[in-house]
A = this chain, B = another copy of it.
Amino acid sequence: MNFASDNVYGVHPKILAALAAANDGTAPSYGGDDLTQAAEAKLAEVFETEVKAYLVTTGTAANGLALSAIAPGYGAIICHSEAHVSSDECNAPEFFTGGAKIVGLSGEGGKITPATIEKTLKGFIRGEHDPKPKGVSITNATELGTVYTPSEVRAIKELIAPRGMKLHMDGARFANAVVGLSTTPAELTWKSGVDVLSFGTSKNGAMVGEAVVFFDMGLAEDFAYRRMRGGQLVAKSRYLGAQMLAYLEGDLWLDNARRANALAQRLADGLKIASQVRVAHDVQANEVFAVMPRQLHQQLVAQGVSYHQRMSADVAGQMKDSETGVRLVLSFATPEADVDRFLALVHGAWMETRHDAR
């Protein structure tokens, strides 16, 4: 039973097959091949608009490169303090932007709001003594398994656009957000004001490779140079193209996400009826955060369940010493039975514990 991350699972068979199918013959290198170009075209189709799309190898690079198109070194990017760009990427955003400040705000459920952003912007009153706010980065689905709705995205955009700031969406789990909201890719991005999206695939069935998708064409200027200079232009790019095509083909990506989200819901529902466990945030995508007695946690680990102890700062601040906060991530490939076995363990273990305690 492995709920450590969605990226502990392998590659979807259709994507693996696409890699094998792409293997014949020769193809121009460095992105000049048909598959790469078809993938970029397919993204335009999926998003129902003209886009500039660039394949890269990792989500961290996608974010860093996307932010570098928004913020120069003297700029600032506002995000949630628990956003991946703020707290999981070892200064990669600073690296790619040449030293921009990543300003992490607190906010319930991993989300920032126009109100918190505006309050922060009001602190930037001293001209060049502060960095210049250049953009906002939101993660959708968030690191806490919640989602920004299109109207929430739009509200942020409306606040920042008049200030000349751009909106980045970290979509490492974008598919889970689209499905979780029963919306469309277009609705959740450019129609709501997103200027550039890190479009994740590897957490949801691909092997390696993400895309940076620009809706604001001006931001895409010279982006091919940024990608190359960042060591992100892959020689045999056809294999990135093949993955992306198979990922999008027949809505595989949405089907995968649908399955992962459904499992998360099932897991959360099962936990909610366990009186000793609290589910910490709304479960709107494929992650479940739960607070449980440390003893239960230890029993689960002893039974071979894998997951990370990870809890949002605000919830963690209210936990008792005897409690443990855990993150459970569901994937397109997580066996349904694992969810059931996990829930059985939680319920059973606890029964036992209480029995022992008598």
Give A contacts to B, CB under 8 Å: 2, 4-5, 7-11, 16, 19-20, 22-30, 56-62, 64-65, 72-76, 87-92, 94-101, 126-132, 202-203, 207-208, 222, 224-236, 239-240, 306
Which chain B residues lie closer than 8 Å to A99 at the CB level? 91, 94-95, 97-99, 229
Residue of B with least CB distance to A131:
B91
In contact, B92 and A207 (Cβ under 8 angstroms): no
Whether A98 touches B98, Cβ cut-off 8 Å, given contacts A207-B239, A239-B207, is yes
Give CA–CA (A89, B229) in the complex, Å.
6
Of the A-B pairs whose beta carbons lie under 8 Å apart in the complex, a sample of 12, sorted by A's number, is A4-B28, A10-B23, A11-B23, A30-B129, A73-B91, A74-B226, A88-B126, A90-B131, A94-B99, A99-B229, A132-B222, A207-B239
Which chain B residues lie closer than 8 Å to A129 at the CB level? 30, 88-90, 228
Which chain B residues lie closer than 8 Å to A96 at the CB level? 231
**Contacts beyond the supplied A9-B26, A19-B19: 20 A-B pairs with Cβ under 8 Å:** A7-B29, A11-B23, A56-B231, A60-B228, A60-B231, A65-B231, A73-B95, A74-B95, A74-B225, A87-B130, A88-B129, A89-B231, A90-B128, A91-B101, A92-B231, A94-B100, A128-B227, A128-B228, A208-B234, A231-B232
Give CA–CA (A264, B236) in the complex, Å.
21
Give CA–CA (A96, B129) in the complex, Å.
16
Give CA–CA (A90, B133) in the complex, Å.
11
Which chain B residues lie closer than 8 Å to A235 at the CB level? 5, 7, 58-59, 202-203, 208
A224 to chain B, nearest CB (A): 4
In contact, A231 and B228 (Cβ under 8 angstroms): no
Q: Out of B2, B57, B229, which one reaches A95, CB within 8 Å?
A: B229
Residue of B with least CB distance to A64:
B231
Whether A236 touches B224, Cβ cut-off 8 Å, given contacts A73-B95, A230-B92, is no
Q: Out of B2, B58, B228, which one reaches A57, CB within 8 Å?
A: B58
Give CA–CA (A92, B101) in the complex, Å.
10
In contact, A230 and B95 (Cβ under 8 angstroms): yes
Give CA–CA (A16, B75) in the complex, Å.
38
A308 to chain B, nearest CB (A): 9
Which chain B residues lie closer than 8 Å to A9 at the CB level? 26
Q: Out of B89, B92, B236, which one reaches A7, CB within 8 Å?
A: B236
In contact, A128 and B224 (Cβ under 8 angstroms): yes
In contact, A231 and B58 (Cβ under 8 angstroms): yes
In contact, A61 and B231 (Cβ under 8 angstroms): yes
The 3 closest A-B pairs by CB, nearest first: A61-B231, A94-B99, A74-B225
In contact, A8 and B26 (Cβ under 8 angstroms): yes
